[in-house]
Amino acid sequence: MGLSLEVRFGMKKTAGICLLGLFLVFGPSAGQEKTLKNAVALISDSDIHCSFSVIAAAPALKIAASEQGGERMILGMGDLFYINIGPGDVLRAGSELTILEMGARLDAPKGKKSPGLLAYKRGRAKIVRLEAKQAVARVEKSCGPVMIGNSLVPYQEREGVLGHDLGYTGAVFSQGALSGRIIFMDNEFVQIAQGQLALIDLGTDQGVQFGQQLTVFHLAEKIGPPEAVGNVIIVDAGRTTSAIKVLSAKDAVRLDDIVQVK
């Protein structure tokens, strides 16, 4: 499948991903040691925890108020806040939560329903104590404004990925390969470059996964096959959509460009 050699510490082997955990136990050969040495960070901690995704509906759990009281709306690292606990909420001291700023509903593709609401990851919080009908949590990490009213979901830990950019040189568009489109770009841009994020209309239901690299193709302006212009990696895989990061490109990656598995 032409997938990159990757290291994910503490994660198991999954289809299409070659992990090096075994080498860390038994010791790498000279060639394997060279591969490890030349590996780069394809997915960073910031890519995982400060990206965006799509969810079906806004979570019920929200930041209710600052523990300091008053009219303060923006919280920083180390600040404490209250979470109102509903009848069905199960929270435990020490549990971690991802802080989300909810955005607009994505436009529905032609002939389909909308994939859901944009959800921007703004940080991580930890529950420090439980009270009668509320919990108190502390902002552990922030990568954007954390505000009263932000939504909260259970935190899912993921490790960054080391590996190699597989590139796009020589890639040829295949009519039979799994393909999708770029449907949204960070800050609502219409084109992005290396290191920037976007959403595609492929997810785990279609068979793609976290850490997988895909080739980006421009549609031909006239007659001809799509042209390979870039390489991206999935930094967050949802059921029907995924967040991607541009690893390399010879031209701007555009809204509605085609992405195809390798």
The highest-level CATH class for domain 52-154 is mainly beta
CA distance 189 to 193: 11
Report whether 118 contacts 174 (CB < 8 A): no
Sequence spans of domains, the chain? 1-44+160-164, 52-154, 167-261
Q: What is the pLDDT of residues 30-39, one digit of tens each?
A: 555 555 678 9
Least confident of 16-30, 96-110, 121-135, 180-194: 16-30
CATH topology of domain 167-261: Elongation Factor Tu (Ef-tu); domain 3 (2.40.30)
Neighbours of 209 (CB within 10 A): 15
Q: In the predicted model, is pLDDT for residue 69 greater than 90?
A: no
- Split at pLDDT 50, 70, 90, the class of 26 is very low
